[in-house]
Structures are given as C-alpha cells and as structure tokens.
Structure 1
C-alpha cells in the first residue's frame, strides 16, 4: 500500500508538471493548439470577403473592356510589326487570361470560401493567375529593355533587334514571347501535379503551410520573387537612362522640332514605371514574409490570419495592374491613342485635336509647325491719280498644320 501510494503520488506530480509545461508552451506560441486542431483558422471574415468580391468584380469589368479594346487595335488596326507591338499583344493576352480567373475567385468568396470544383481545378485556376501575372511582369521588363536598346542603337538597330528563324528575319519579340510562354506552361504542369500537404478540404486561394513534399513550391515562389526584383531593377535602369537621354537632347537642342515631345516621352516612361511599382512592388516586398511563415511549423493562428489578409490586400494591387495596363498601352502606342480618340469622338473640334497632338510622340505623328505670319505681295490694281496701277503689300498668315 505504501509503495502504491508513493507511485500514485509521483504520477500525479508528473502529470501536473506536464500540464504546467504544456500550458506555458501554449502561451509562448499563442493559438498553436488551435492551429493543430483547426488547419483553416486563417479564414477571412465576411466583411473582408465582400471587399475582395467588390474589387475583383470591378477589376474584371474594366480590365476586360480595356484589354479587349487594346488587343483589337493591336491585331486589326496597327500595321507595324516591331517588337514593342508583339510584347503588348502578349501582355494583353496574359492580362485577359488572368482576368478569366477572377470570376472563380469571386464565386469562391461569394460561396463563403467553399470551393466546389475539386482540387485539380483549384490548383489550375490559382497557378494560372500567378503564371500570367509573372508573364506580364516579364513582358513589361522586355518593353523597357527594347526601348533602351533602340535609344542606344544606331541606324537599323533603332528599329529593334531581330533574329533569324526558318530562313526569315523576325523581331526578337517573337523568340522572347515564344520561349516565355513555353517555360511558363512547363512550370505550370508540375505545380498542378504536385500534391499539397494535406487532402483537399474544400478550401482554395487560402493560406497554405508548406511541409514535407510541398516545400518545393515555397522555394519556387522564392525564385519568382528574385526574378521580379531583377526585372524591376532592369526597368528602373532602362527607363531612367531613356528619360535622361531624352531630357538631355531636349535641353541641349531646344530648337529641334520634336524637343517638347522628347520631354513628354520622358515623363511617360516614368509614369509606366510608377504604375509597375504601385501594382507589383508591395506584393513582392511582402512575399518573403509570407513564404517564411509557410515554412514555419509553429506559427500561431492569429499570425497566420494576419499574414493571409495582408497577402490578399497586396494581391489586389497586383490584379489592379490588369486594369492599368490599357493605360500603359495608350501611352506607348500611337495607334491605341488615335483609335481611342476616334472612338470617344475627341477628333472633333480644334481644342480636342490639339489634345490628340499633345499626347502623340515623334514616332507616330508628323511634326506640324505653328502659324507664322509672313509678308507677301498681293496685286491690287488700284488706279492712282496719275492713271497707273498701285501694287499694295498685305500681311497674310501661313496656313497652320503645314508639313515641313
């Protein structure tokens, strides 16, 4: 009896110590036990869901209209076959594919974060969204590089780099875009085929922890973050050099016919870079925090929820780029500008025509000189007192809009 009593007392003491230790561990990692029993603790609130629904719906409507209009102009109205046009066409296609993924996200949030189409469809839609986002990022970087190479090149190099394929010379944009789509599709297949950490539980577009076999996806996302910052640095350097060169020419040679337009083109370059920074930089600045948290097995439920919501907000900015890209097309392409002005009826009236001219650069519009008065002789056979004719000189304005 004494021995049993001693053993029971020891077990009670050990059990109490274990409970005390477990309680202190739980308090050090708040809600850690909740995460273990409820893997979906990072679900969004109903209010936050409706915020996502409203913004994604607006992005889908305006982005669809703008990109379809731009694609129509590029394919059917623009006659040039340069690399920038090729990049813009592929960028519009990538934006349209990304926009096609938004109705699935909208339906998911309307259905209170319950996915009913299966795990394969979930992974396909999610990875298509990200794939086309990074295709757009890469194409914008290629456009900035192309503009820089044209500015620094001489003679034929200013028309753009060309490669020889199938016995014919093509703009380098064909090779770049073909390779980009091929690599993207090859990267998409394993992302869809690879299993997640746990069985499908009806959730999609949610925060997922990367454990065991799924850690490779986290590392792949880290590579994409590095790629983004390389593209971002390329754009900053390219557009800064382009703008500096144009401003230098405009300042050093103010008498050139297109001097003022060089200044406007330089400002457009900075505006394109500004749009790129606003849409993509916040998401990729926060992305390392998101990836590290996915690899952390002791993250609390509160931290998981906070990181998940912050990531969704940053992702809204990235999706917003699909609406702003048509604005970029408007700035970079004279065909889009002129077609948009005609469609909106802005070609009527002197004031609206001057607005059209003000937004055109030297590569798309002819330089038109302003009205300059000059003196010419006009025969005016007015008889004078001596019976002869007197020729009178009059001041006549030169016609405006004449070509040089």
Structure 2
C-alpha cells in the first residue's frame, strides 16, 4: 500500500514531462517553419540597408511582409519612413515628372533640329554639336519611362532589365553631354589662345576621335549600373521602385557607393574644371586683344553660367550625398538631389539654342583676328 502511490506518482510525473517536451518541440518546429528573411531599408535611394534574420510566427508579422522570402526579396519601407515619404510625396509624383515632360517637350524637337537642319561651316564644330545633340536626345527619350514611373506613384512596371537600361542611359548621357561641352570649350580655347597650333591640328579627325572617346568612356563607366539589381518591391507600400531604394549593405551592392562617387567626380568635376579654366583664359585673352569681342564674350559667359547652374547643384549634392553615406550612413539629401537632377535635363533642352547662338558668333572671323594679332607680336606666340 505504501509503494504503489510512489509508482503512480512517478508515472504521472513522467507523463507530464513527456507532454511538456513534446509541446516545446512542436512549438520550436512551427517557429522554424516560419523563419523569414526580411530586408530592412531605413532611408531612400542608394540608401543604407541591412539584412537580418528573426524567428517569429507569421501572425506576428505585418500582412505585407508575410510573403517575403529569399526567393522573392522585398524592402520593408513604411509610409512614415523617409523613403515612404519620398515615394508618396508630391516632389517625386508630380514636380519631377512635370519638369521632365517640359524638358522633353522643348528638348526633343530642338535637338532634332540640330541633327537635321543646322548647318555649321566648320566640320569639326558640326561633329561636336551633333554628338551633343545625340547625347541630349537619348537622355530626353530615356525620361519617358521615368515620367510614367513617377506619375504611377513611383511604381515601376517595366521589369528590372529595363530599369537597369534606363538608369545607365540616363547617367551615361548626362555625363557625355557635360564632357562634350567641355570639348567645345577646349576647342575654343585652342583657337583663341594657341591659333598656330590649332591650325596645324587635324580638327575634324580630332573632333570625331574625341566624341567617340567620350562615348566609349561613359559606355564602359555605366556598365556596373547594368550588372546590379535596380528595382525592388516595397510590400508595405504596394509598389516597386526603380533605382530609388537599394540595399547598399548587401554584398551585391556594396561597391555601388564608391563607384558612383568616382563616377560623379569623373563625369562632373573634370568637365567643370575644364570649362571654368578655358572660359577664364579665353575671356582674359580676348580682353587684352585690343578688339571688341563683347558679343562672343557674352555668349561664352552665358554658356558657362548655364553649365554651372544646371550641373553644379546635382553634382555637388550627389557628391555630398555619397560622402555622407560612406561616412555616417545618412542619406536624407536624396530628395534634394532628385530635384536638382531636373536641371541637368533642362540643360539638354537648352543645348540646341546655345549651339545656334555659338554658330552666330562667326568663329572663323574670331580665329583669323586672333592669328593676325599674334603674328604682329612674336613674343606672345608661345
């Protein structure tokens, strides 16, 4: 009578331990089955992001994240986040596409006019003008899909391959335009300050080689934009972005920040320094020539000012944006940068009018007068 209760108690305890262990194993099994990989992006664009793994049940997740898996990655961005505010704000959904449409409406027909109708006496100058017109035209045409993207609430519907192509085309042609303008400025500098050297140069061959070199340089420079994924789903916002929001801390995108920083240095700073130095040298040289070159100086100054106003804000914001990303992982400047990029597009629609204006300044007369002046002053030849 005394031993039986002990046995019964022992058996009961064993049964309870077995049930507890079984329930625990079942719970752990359920949790492991609902393990979900979430890509968490804190801020917009070439923005800082990180990947982390958590063990939670599906019921604890927001409904928009339940379908996320490693095979169907998405970015967790909410409306109150900076990225969500940007993608749903008036700047990106109304102001930017309106500016793009205006640039296209003016720029496409005017650049076609340069390609088809404008006749320039100097063949080397014509080559540079046509190269600039082609670059500007491709840039403006690439904006058509971007306009649809922004008006559609920043929801990209054309696939990742098209997003990569449009992104590469946009940046490549922006920097091609800037470098072609720098080549035009360098040509004017040589004609004014080094006329004898300029006369000996094979100018047409030089212009063709320079234009092809610029196209080849930036054709290669934008290849990385074609190699990485540019479009990501934002399940909580119900849209897919193109280029605006990227997981930069992922291995696939880890080098994009230094790459784009180097690209903007090459594509913006180099032509800006060339244009600034050549403009100052030409104006100073003509100012001491003893001849009245006021119309040419005004046109040259106007071209440099437009170049500065259109390219400098986006270039400086681009550089600052990526430096802050590298240094302190902050990227709130992206909204300002996106607005400044519109100015680059306006430069593409102004370039044809600048080409027409330059063609009216009788460059051949300028070169001849400069040569005559220097020929009477042998000391100034070098």
Structure 2: how far apart are the matches of 1:318 and 1:197?
A: 23
1:67 counterpart = 2:68: no
Offset of residue 266 of structure 1: 1.3
Structure 2: how far apart are the matches of 1:37 and 1:56?
A: 29
1:331 counterpart = 2:351: no
Mapping 1:62-101, distance limit 5 Å = 62-74=106-118, 77-82=119-124, 84-101=125-142
Per the alignment, residue 66 of structure 2 pairs with: none
Cα contact 1:210–1:295 (8 A) shared by 2: no
1:220 counterpart = 2:256: no
Structure 2: how far apart are the matches of 1:199 and 1:294?
A: 22
Cα contact 1:197–1:210 (8 A) shared by 2: no
Name the CA shift for 1:93/1:362 in 2 (closer, same or farther; >3 Å). closer
Q: 1:208 aligns with which of 234, 246, 252?
A: 246
- SS of residue in 2 equivalent to 1:87: helix
1:116 counterpart = 2:157: yes
Structure 2: how far apart are the matches of 1:104 and 1:297?
A: 33
Structure 1: how far apart are the matches of 2:294 and 2:200?
A: 22
1:320 counterpart = 2:359: no
Structure 2: how far apart are the matches of 1:85 and 1:213?
A: 43
Offset of residue 311 of structure 1: 1.2
Task: After superposing the two structures, state which structure 1 stretch, 111-120 or 48-57, moved more.
Answer: 48-57
Name the CA shift for 1:109/1:37 in 2 (closer, same or farther; >3 Å). closer
Name the CA shift for 1:137/1:50 in 2 (closer, same or farther; >3 Å). same
Name the CA shift for 1:362/1:308 in 2 (closer, same or farther; >3 Å). closer
Offset of residue 269 of structure 1: 1.1
Structure 2: how far apart are the matches of 1:202 and 1:66?
A: 34
- SS of residue in 1 equivalent to 2:137: helix
Which ranges of structure 2 fall in alignment gaps of 5 or more residues?
Answer: 1-42, 44-48, 51-61, 63-74, 369-382
Structure 2: how far apart are the matches of 1:209 and 1:293?
A: 16
Structure 1: how far apart are the matches of 2:231 and 2:145?
A: 23
Cα contact 1:160–1:171 (8 A) shared by 2: no
Q: 1:43 aligns with which of 63, 80, 86?
A: 86
1:234-288 residue CA offsets vs partner (Å, 9 max, x unmatched): 1111011111111211xx3xxxxxx33x121112111110000000011111112
Structure 2: how far apart are the matches of 1:62 and 1:79?
A: 26
CA RMSD, aligned part only? 3.0
Cα contact 2:233–2:241 (8 A) shared by 1: no
Q: 1:277 aligns with which of 278, 302, 308?
A: 308
Cα contact 1:90–1:177 (8 A) shared by 2: yes
Cα contact 1:210–1:294 (8 A) shared by 2: no
1:58 counterpart = 2:102: yes
Name the CA shift for 1:152/1:298 in 2 (closer, same or farther; >3 Å). closer
TM-score, scaled to structure 1 = 0.64
Alignment coverage as a number of residue pairs: 287
Cα contact 1:149–1:160 (8 A) shared by 2: no
Offset of residue 215 of structure 1: 2.7
Cα contact 1:101–1:129 (8 A) shared by 2: yes
Name the CA shift for 1:199/1:205 in 2 (closer, same or farther; >3 Å). closer
Structure with the bigger RCO (C-alpha within 8 Å, sep 6+) is 2
Structure 2: how far apart are the matches of 1:195 and 1:205?
A: 9
Per the alignment, residue 147 of structure 1 pairs with: 188
Per the alignment, residue 167 of structure 1 pairs with: none
- SS of residue in 1 equivalent to 2:157: coil
Offset of residue 100 of structure 1: 0.5
Q: 2:269 aligns with which of 218, 226, 229?
A: 229
Offset of residue 233 of structure 1: 1.4
Cα contact 1:44–1:309 (8 A) shared by 2: no
Q: 1:162 aligns with which of 202, 207, 215?
A: 202
Structure 2: how far apart are the matches of 1:68 and 1:175?
A: 23
- SS of residue in 2 equivalent to 1:206: coil
Name the CA shift for 1:298/1:182 in 2 (closer, same or farther; >3 Å). closer
Structure 2: how far apart are the matches of 1:316 and 1:85?
A: 27
Q: 2:334 aligns with which of 299, 308, 320?
A: 308
Name the CA shift for 1:113/1:231 in 2 (closer, same or farther; >3 Å). same
